[in-house]
Every structure is written in C-alpha cells, then in structure tokens.
C-alpha cells in the first residue's frame, strides 16, 4: 500500500496558492483631510503584514510585492467624542482607496466608501470590499475626506482597518478586473 506524501502546497496549482495578506489599523483618530496613516507593527493587535507586504511610512501606502488578484477591504469606524445637537454633527466621512504603481504618480480610485453621520447614536461603521488586480510593486493608499460641520465631534475608531489577501496569482480568464 503506497501513500501520497505530497504536501497540500504541492497539490495546489500555482495560480491558486495564497499566503499574501495584510491588515493595518488606522494610526490617527482625527478626521483630517488627506492620506490615512496606519499602524504597521505586527506586534500590535489587529496588525498583520505577511512576507511580501510592507508599509511605507513616508507615503502612507501599503506596498504589495507579489502580483495577483486580491480581495481588498476597508472598514471605516467612527465614534462620537463630543456631545452635540444633531444639527452641528451632520455630514459624512468618505474614504477612497487608491491603487498606484511605482512608475506612475497618478493614482486611480479603486474603492470608495461614504459614511453618513447619524444624528443619534455614538458610533457608526461601514464596510466596502472587492477584487482588484494588483501588480508587483503597486501601492495602496487611503485618502480621508471629512464633510463634517464640526470635525472634532467625531473621531476614527479602532475599527478603521485596511486589509487585503491574495485569492489568485493570475487573473482567471473571463474575470473583468
């Protein structure tokens, strides 16, 4: 009787092997227009950077070393930190994920999320995710745009997360990415 001693990795076709993933948590809680800064130290709760992923603290971008199809997600969490009447806390907070290559400085928005602020309640969150074809060396950055009358009333919560994981190393035929 013979047993197949191949590892599961060897049986999995190359185009389906996973392993490239990252999850970063927002570093700054202030609702300030511009790029979001992220915690990137894997020893912190909620932060993961697998080999092949790095965070550029100068540009505030996640750098992806290996090309592939990735499921990318943004979770935006806000919490009220100052009691306020509903009129002064109206508005929304938007985030846009930009996918940028090393060669071109013009970034294209890949995912956007608009989160209306509630007149009642002390927290709100929203989630957006999707498949993206990411090339080797491409960078992902998130731009925050608060459209809030009194931005000090709300802050980002620890639920604000940027994450991605590779689902395939090649774009499957017929997949529009």
pLDDT tens profile 55-82: 999 999 999 999 999 999 999 999 998 8
Task: Give a yes or no: residue 173 inside a domain.
Answer: no
pLDDT of residue 13: 43
Q: What CATH number did the domain enclosing 64 receive?
A: 2.60.120.40
User: Is 35 in a helix, a strand, or coil?
Assistant: strand
pLDDT tens digit string along 141-163?
999 999 987 667 899 999 999 99
In this predicted structure, what is the pLDDT of residue 177? 56
Global pTM? 0.81
- Taking 50 as the threshold, does the pLDDT of residue 6 lie above it? no
Q: CA-CA distance, 48 to 161, in Å (whole number)?
A: 11
Q: What local confidence, expressed as pLDDT, does residue 71 receive?
A: 96
Count Cα neighbours of 166 within 13 Å in the Cβ-side half-sphere. 25
CA nearest to 155, candidates 97, 54, 45, 79: 79
Q: Does some domain include residue 77?
A: yes
Nearest of 38, 111, 103 to residue 70 by alpha carbon? 111
Tell me whether residue 3 is in a domain: no
The tally of domains found in the chain comes to: 1
Domain residues for the domain of 117 are: 21-168
């Amino acid at each position: 009787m013979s047993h197949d001693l191949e590892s599961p990795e060897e049986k999995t076709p190359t185009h389906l092997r996973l392993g490239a993933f990252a999850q970063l948590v927002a570093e700054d809680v202030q609702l300030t227009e511009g790029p979001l800064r992220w915690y990137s130290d894997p020893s912190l709760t909620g932060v993961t950077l697998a080999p092949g992923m790095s965070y550029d603290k100068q540009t505030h971008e996640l750098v992806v070393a290996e090309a592939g199809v990735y499921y990318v997600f943004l979770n935006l969490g806000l919490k009220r930190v100052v009691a306020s009447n509903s009129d002064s806390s109206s508005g929304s907070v938007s985030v846009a994920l930009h996918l940028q290559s090393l060669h071109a400085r013009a970034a294209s928005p890949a995912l956007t999320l608009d989160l209306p602020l509630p007149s009642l309640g002390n927290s709100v969150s929203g989630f957006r995710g999707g498949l993206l074809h990411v090339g080797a060396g491409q960078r992902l950055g998130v731009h925050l745009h608060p459209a809030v009358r009194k931005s000090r009333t709300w802050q980002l919560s620890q639920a604000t997360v940027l994450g991605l994981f590779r689902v395939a190393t090649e774009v499957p035929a017929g997949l529009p990415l």
